[in-house]
Chains A and B, each alone.
Chain A
Amino acid sequence: MQRHCCLPRPAWRSQVESLGLTYHTHDEGPYWDESACYEFTTAEIDTLERAARELHYLCIEAAEQVIARDWWDRLAIPPAAVPAILRSWERDDFSLYGRFDLAFDGSSPPKLLEYNADTPTALVEAAVAQWFWLQETRPGADQFNSIHERLIEAWRRWAGATIHFSSVRDNPEDEQTVLYLRDTCTQAGVATRAVFIDDLGWDAARRRFVDLDLVPVTHCFKLYPWEWLWAEEFGVHLAADAVQLIEPTWKMLLSNKGLLPILWELNPDHPNLLPTFETAGPLAARHVRKPKLSREGANVAWVEGGAAVEETGGAYGREGFVYQAAVELPEFAGHRPVCGVWIVDHEPAGLGLREDTRRITGNLSRFVPHYFS
């Protein structure tokens, strides 16, 4: 695993914008950063792929234990959601995708930092932008990236249905992520429609969700966290299974960092897991504190000597925290990459790297393309 400095393509901004990556620059600098790239060996990519496959099934097994042992409180799952989760689990409701964030230095086993199993983003850049970057800059090299065709393949089972796609409004990254997923669904030959999450209507007389044209919403991909859906006004209507949402509600078991201590408890000393607990005690004074529910690295604290030496802000943490052994990300000229391995339809499908000079990867971390040879 090596980091290389590169000369960005002169027109990279317009090139990535034309692919849907309109959010390539933050207020503080570039988000899409092709002034660098990472090179892997085939063996390293195989290692990441194997780890992600193994971790996905460990997570499924851990979720089974949560259900079998009624560990709902450990994940701070609201009681109203439990029956729907159980039904969704029993039906094995369709799950499209997720992203494992792994610490990996190329030699030690990849370590799970967290599983973004409900509302993962950084998808357009991983599936599309870096693929075109590779075509233009290193056409002879390979890339761990079959995300696009796997998404299309996953949608094919919905032939004959109409799937709505929903996100919050005025958030370019969310909107473009959902538009891209809708694109892949369309390419699978499935009928699609769009509706913003706050435009979803509840037709009380017919007890069904409808879009702005009053078309019934029977299947809906939503880039909106389940715990928010349950807590909001229309959450009461979810209990009746009036709509099949994608990701399904059973994904609440996997997207919750409360699963990390359970994974460690069930698989102590597993090479792809970090010791994680529900109290800081077993880790003494050096650990990372993470909210059970949070996004983009919000409200995470790196603790040393009992004090936070690095901490991110945010509005999360009400459901409680977990305490994970501190693992240093590999450092390349001051940059620390996190490997995001994508799961599509339960199989590893690709890789996206985000790097930062800080220890905590957050919403200002840069996406850097990769290749392997």
Chain B
Amino acid sequence: MKRSRSVQRLLIGGFTAGLAAAAAGAAEPRITADQLYTNDTFIRGAGHYHAPFRAFFPLPYNHYDPQRQLYFYGGQWGPAPHRSIVNISAPSAEVARLAELARTDRAGPIAAPVARSGFGSTSRSHYSGS
């Protein structure tokens, strides 16, 4: 048997589909270390908040992978769902800072001197895949 046991797609659509899709509508307040979040709160770009671990992750708390029969929590995979009495907590200061940087549901920091379009010019006359 050489074929995959299961194949699933989570991100479908355009190039910016999924977690980093540009958001519409009102943005959440800034992520700070004194803000409480309930387990599995989702903030675009930052991800899903795992309250027992006080951090954001790309997959929901106790997300189940049927192929490997493993559960995702706190940035790791385990054979059984994670159990915790903590269902609300505040992120650490460093986690809050990084999550705020990563979020995509509102405009980023105001202009810094960043040059763009320094890559991509050759593709206008060639095809890039092979």
Chain A residues near B (Cβ < 8 Å): 18-20, 45, 116, 118-122, 127-128, 131-132, 134, 142-149, 159-160, 162, 167-169, 171, 173-175, 177-180, 182-183, 186-187, 189-194, 196-205, 210, 212-215, 223-225, 228-229, 231-234, 237, 255, 295-296, 298, 314-316, 350, 363
Contact = CB atoms under 8 A, between A and B. Distances in A.
B95 to A, nearest CB: 12
A228 B114 contact: no
B128 to A, nearest CB: 5
Given A119-B130, A167-B15, A210-B114, A190 B119 contact: no
B128 A167 contact: yes
A189 B75 CA distance: 7
3 closest pairs, A vs B, by CB? A234-B118, A121-B129, A198-B120
A206 to B, nearest CB: 9
B84 interface: no
Contacts of A144: 2-3
A204 B13 CA distance: 34
B3 A229 contact: no
Interface in B100-127: 101-102, 104, 108-109, 112-123, 125-127
A148 B4 contact: yes
A192 B123 contact: no
A175 B14 contact: yes
A179 B127 contact: no
Interface stretch (B17-25, B31-39, B86-94): B17-25
A192 B7 CA distance: 19
Contacts, number: 203
Interface string B60-102: 0000010100001001110000000000000000000000011
B49 interface: no
A162 B15 CA distance: 17
Contacts of A177: 129
Contacts of A201: 114-116
Contacts of A148: 4, 7
Contacts of A128: 7, 9
A189 B129 contact: no
A223 B15 CA distance: 12
B115 A202 contact: yes
Nearest to A363: B127
Given A142-B1, A200-B118, A296-B127, A193 B9 contact: no
B77 A189 contact: yes
B15 A198 contact: no
Given A160-B75, A175-B14, A183-B10, A228 B130 contact: no
B52 interface: no
B129 A120 contact: yes
A178 B128 CA distance: 12
Nearest to B12: A20
B26 interface: no
A195 B24 CA distance: 18
5 contacts: A142-B1, A146-B3, A159-B76, A180-B9, A213-B104
B101 to A, nearest CB: 6
- Interface centre among A120, A200, A363, by most B CB within 10 Å? A200
A193 B16 CA distance: 8
Contacts of A200: 116, 118-119
B108 A213 contact: yes
Nearest to B13: A179
Contacts of B129: 119-122, 171, 173-174, 177, 223, 295-296
A131 B3 contact: yes
A132 B9 CA distance: 12
Contact of A175 (B15, B123, B126): B15
B57 A189 contact: yes
A199 to B, nearest CB: 6
